[in-house]
Amino acid sequence: MILVKNIFKSIRSYIDTHRLFSSLPIEDCSFVILDTETTGLEASKGDKIISLATLKIRNSQIKEDEFLDEFINPERDVPWESVKIHHITDSHVRGKPTLPQLQSKINLFLKKSILIGHNIEFDKKFIYQDAPDSDLSRRMKKITSIDTIYLTAALYPDLENYDLSYLCEHFHIRTNDQIRHSALGDCWITARLFLHLLNKAKENNITTASGLLKLCNQGTKLHHLIRNAKKIH
């Protein structure tokens, strides 16, 4: 009986959250950019998060003093192949908190915000694995999310690819003041890309959160169609 009540409570919270955001103008929304660095690319094969960062956007502006930037103890070695990419070594994460130990801090930062990320499902998948049956994982499953890959695909369907570096170069988004493949650096770059996409959406008369979400859903379908078409050819 308790389990059923908890399920209905989660469903009600999910619906209420979507109702809240769907009626909000974009200017009134709080967005949180999230990015992680990991020991590798395969969560199902034991790779873990070693760094997580978040960055807040409100009133269509990046709030540079509102961020999290955490090294996370993966409780395993960091492979050299990964170190070569993000330069995070065992010494950086040794003695740091695990993800479950940081969940309250992260959850508080995410409160009443729409989650933004470039390939955000990658980050969410690792969070599910590294903090299973946690409040953080439960929030990740119900939080309203927008993937900048799919938002870009909806607004710019004819691009060669949707890699973050390519998009920043294509749209002349500044990256040279940030460290690529650092969680916070990639948050800043993704935030700038997202603001560019917001401006483009407004040019197309998209002015509410619900409009953004519909656009993102369209981009998801379009992106999958493009990828499948490329496989055929």
pLDDT band at 23 (very low <50, low <70, confident <90, very high): confident
Classify strands 49-58 and 61-71 as parallel, antiparallel or unpaired.
antiparallel
* % pLDDT > 90, the chain: 84
In 3D space, the residue among 194, 188, 197, 196 whose CA is nearest the CA of residue 53 turns out to be: 188
Query: Does the pLDDT at position 109 exceed 90?
Result: yes
Per residue in 211-228, pLDDT (tens digit) is 999 999 999 998 877 666
Q: What is the pLDDT of residues 154-212, one digit of tens each?
A: 999 999 899 999 999 999 999 999 999 999 999 999 999 999 999 999 999 999 999 99
Strands 114-117 and 30-38 come out as parallel
**What pLDDT does residue 187 have?**
98
Structural domains in the chain plus CATH codes:
27-232 (3.30.420.10)
